[in-house]
Amino acid sequence: MADRWTPAFTRDDVEVTAETPLYQGFFSLKRLSVTHRTFSGGTVSVERELFWRDDAVGVLLFDPDRDQVVLVEQFRPGAIDHPHSPWSLELVAGVMEPSEQPEQVARREAEEEAGATLGELMPITRYMSSPGGSHEYVWLYCAPVDASTLGGIHGLADEGEDIQVHCLPVQQAFEMVAQGLIDNAATIITLQWLQLHHDRLKQHWEGPDEIEVCA
């Protein structure tokens, strides 16, 4: 068996020589000047623009009794030129406020975007959305819900949110990923994770005995 991979370098091998604010609005943009060690034994200096936003949290709402997932549809400016539509079908998700924990965000956003109150939260993973130019990390969870009680239009009016809730059979959601109809990273990751752990999750949330589910 091959040795387990570990990074060749650490944060101590990078020096930030300058940090210049470029824009501050809903998001932030900075220019970093950095010098870091190289694999050949020297150093290299580069300048990079860095998109800066707080960490985000997404939660896949799963009804194990009805075998459905609950997704939300909303307009996304980043998809303005999408060949299908600027409206995207996604997880319930939101950005972490200062001092918030990821689990708190998942519960808050489930209430705001889908009218859902969550019990157990199953951690899936934490990943970098685009490490070549973004500071953002995304935390992902799965939680059981009763989809029969969910639906309608939600969101915070003072934030300009207009969110439609959809309850879909899990197999239909899996097929939409395979067909490219669901094409945003966090939703793809969680649905493929659910596809891997589907049977064990149903047993975990339907039965009396808890079963370990590994991310």
Phi, psi of 20 (to 5 degrees): -115, 120
* Residue numbers annotated as active site: 159
